[in-house]
Amino acid sequence: MFLRGDGMTNVNDRGSIKWTPFMMPEHIEMLNNYWKSQNNVEKPILSEDHYEEMSRTIEEAIEHMLKVAIQYYKSQRIKVVEGIIKRPVMDRLEIQTADGIDYIAFTDILDVSII
């Protein structure tokens, strides 16, 4: 135990790690699910103006084959993909990325910006 200048003790606390050997597997799983759920994000509600702006940006990017960054919502997370929009396919966009071709549903897209 160490004394700090303010007279309080400084204990090296490892949080729940020190208690893990005494926990049942169900409790560990429940804690892991809780920690993962803390990073969950609700899907934002976008305005009509924002949809129109994204539509213009997508049209421009397709017409001039420009590289874009697309923010989209998937599995309670906001993700970003960079690439060139090839074409719209049914209800989603086909995007050529460095890793291959991705498809993102129009309803999942949150923002599109030209890089």
Quick: pLDDT tens for 60-113. Answer: 999 999 999 999 999 888 999 999 999 999 999 999 999 999 999 999 999 999
Model confidence at 19, in pLDDT bands (50, 70, 90)? low
Quick: pLDDT tens for 23-41. Answer: 778 877 888 888 777 778 8
Domains parsed from the chain with CATH numbers: 2-37 (no CATH), 48-114 (2.30.30.520)
Tell me, what's the pLDDT at 20?
A: 61
Contact indicator for 80, 70 with CB cutoff of 8 Å:
yes
**Distance, CA of 79 to CA of 62 (rounded, Å):** 21
Contact indicator for 87, 101 with CB cutoff of 8 Å:
no
Tell me, what's the pLDDT at 34?
A: 82
- Averaged over 46-67, what is the pLDDT? 95
Tell me, what's the pLDDT at 111?
A: 96
Q: Which residues pair with 96 in a beta bridge?
A: 84, 101
Output DSSP code: residue 7. S
**Amino acid occupying residue 103:** Y
**Distance, CA of 73 to CA of 16 (rounded, Å):** 31
Tell me, what's the pLDDT at 80?
A: 96
Tell me, what's the pLDDT at 24?
A: 77
